[in-house]
Amino acid sequence: MNKIKSFFSSLIKKDSTKTVVTSLWCAMLGLILGFFILLIINPSNAAYGMTSVLGNYLIFSSPADKLNYFGQTLAKTAPLIAMSLSILVSYKAGLFNLGASGQYSIAVLVICLLGAGANWPWYIVMIIAMIAAAIWSALTGLLKAFFNVNEVISGIMLNWIALYLVNGILSNAGESIWDGAHSESVAITSASNSFIPSIGLDKLFAGNSIVGLGMILILIVVIIIFILLKKTTVGYELKATGLNSDAARYAGISKVKSILIATAISGALAGLAASLSLQNGFTSWRLSSVPPEIGFQGISSAFLGGLHPIGIIFSSYFIMHITEGGSMITDLGFSPETASIMTSVIIYLSGFVFFIKEVMRKYEIKNELNMLSRNKENKV
């Protein structure tokens, strides 16, 4: 009995366990608050609304529909994972990548021109999109490294520049790229060369063609990033710069190099996110006056995932599950805005991981102090 107890207490004391627990707490907190919002807006349908948010594809009765929508959620999770990794890599190097949306936009531009426009093979489009986004992101890194411009500020400004650049170029592009009637870019279909192939995975998900190689690719990228951060000298340098830039300097690690590498990698990952969504055909670029939302969802997902590549897989799935489920409650008499308020509340509360962790830490310290003073009294 005692053995089990000590096993659990040591498990609880482990930092990674703590992160998982806090992430679960955050998700719970978000769900509860989301439920309250539904209650306020439409009390009679709230319970059912919540079920469909949580249930997502499970609320369908036919197994084929279930599989189809499950596949859809999975496929849409892939770009979010890429985006979260983008936030993660720069965060590890001590940078906050608020410019991910802009990097995403630049990649979108490349994909529309080379994919929908020129019909290039999917992998070439993907690689060029990633390189373009990496260069765009490295601009932030250059500004930071050489002029000490705060990366948050330059990131946000580059978001807007990228947004209007892409809007401007795409809306004036030819018919094969821009669908003027709907003011959105022409979607890449499964018939196109630039479509990420499904390699037979679609058959597992009731013929949903957007499920495919992308999902496998992203898992490989997660593993690459995991290894990069954990096992390589580059990862060692990035993390050292992020954790203590003075000590990194003392050890002869070049801050400029670390910043440039980190921003370029995170840009490439943001570009990958664009590729995984547009080259799977489930999104296209709409004329918009706000930077793409996914850049900010990535932040929540990265933090909810405990800033760990493996954790990010689960947190991204959770967020996509809620988002997809949320999009269904419009059928229950909730406006689309309610659906997005509800899901954003859940998502953004999920970003509270550090806050909750801090609260838990304080509670723990208090307990320990109590125990120490009790031990002292016993000894006396």
Partner 1 sequence: MKENYAIEMLGITKRFGNILANDHIDIRLQKGHILALCGENGAGKSTIMSILFGLYTPDEGVIKKEGKVVKITNPNDATSLNIGMVHQHFKLVDTFTVLQNIILGDETLKEFKGDNINFVKKSLNYLNKKIFKIIDYKKAREDINKIINQYDLQVDLDKKIKDISVEMQQKVEIIKMLYRKNDILIFDEPTAVLTEQEIQDFLKVMNNLKKEGKSIIFISHKLNEVFEVSDEITVIRKGQYIDTLKTSETTKEEISALMVGRKLKEFNGKSKKTPKEEVLRVEHLTMIDPFSKKKVVNDVSFNVRKGEIVTLAGIDGNGQQEVIYGITGIKKAHEGTILLDKKDISSYSIREKIKAGISHIPEDRHKHGLILDYSIYENTVLDRYYEKEFSKCFFLNEKNIKKYADELIDKYDVRSSGDGNTIVRSMSGGNQQKIIVGREIERNQDLLIAVQPTRGLDIGAIEGIHNLLLKQREEDKAILLVSLELDQVFALSDRILVMYEGEIVGEFTPDNVNKETLGLYMSGAKKDKVNAIKEGINE
Q: Provide the b/e sequence for 342-376 (b: ≥16 CB within 10 Å).
A: bbbbbbbbbbbbeebbeeeeeeeeeeeeeeeeeee
From the list 248, 269, 273, 339, which residue makes contact with partner 1 (rule: CB under 8 A)? Answer: 248
* Stretch of residues binding partner 1 (CB under 8 A), selected from 38-46, 60-68, 86-94, 241-249: 241-249
Q: How far is the CB of 35 from partner 1 (least distance, A)?
A: 37
Specify whether the CB–CB gap between 160 and 95 falls below 8 A.
no
Question: Does 9 interact with partner 1 (rule: CB under 8 A)?
Answer: no
Q: What is the CA radius of gyration of the chain?
A: 23
Quick check: 19 and 306 in contact, CB under 8 A? Answer: yes
For position 254 contacting partner 1 by CB under 8 A, the verdict is: yes
User: Of the candidates 133, 240, 272, 312, which one interacts with partner 1 according to CB under 8 A?
Assistant: 240
234 makes contact with partner 1 (CB under 8 A): yes
Closer residue to partner 1, CB minimum distance, 28 or 247:
247
For residues 202 and 190, what is the distance between their CA atoms, to the nearest angstrom? Answer: 11
Nearer to partner 1, 190 or 254 (CB): 254
> Should residue 253 be labelled a site residue for partner 1 when binding is judged by CB under 8 A?
yes
CB–CB of 255/165 below 8 Å?
no
SS3 351: coil
Closer CB to partner 1, residue 196 or residue 302?
A: 302
> Is 244 one of the binding residues for partner 1 (CB under 8 A)?
yes
Residue 249 engages partner 1 in binding (rule: CB under 8 A): yes
Q: Determine if 236 is a binding residue for partner 1 (CB under 8 A).
A: yes
Could you tell me if 117 and 177 are in contact, meaning their C-beta atoms sit under 8 angstroms apart?
yes
DSSP designation for 184: E
Cα 91 from chain centroid (whole Å): 13
- Please select the residue that binds partner 1; options are 2, 9, 172, 233, rule is CB under 8 A: 233
Interacting residue ranges for partner 1, rule: CB under 8 A: 231-234, 236, 239-240, 243-244, 246-254
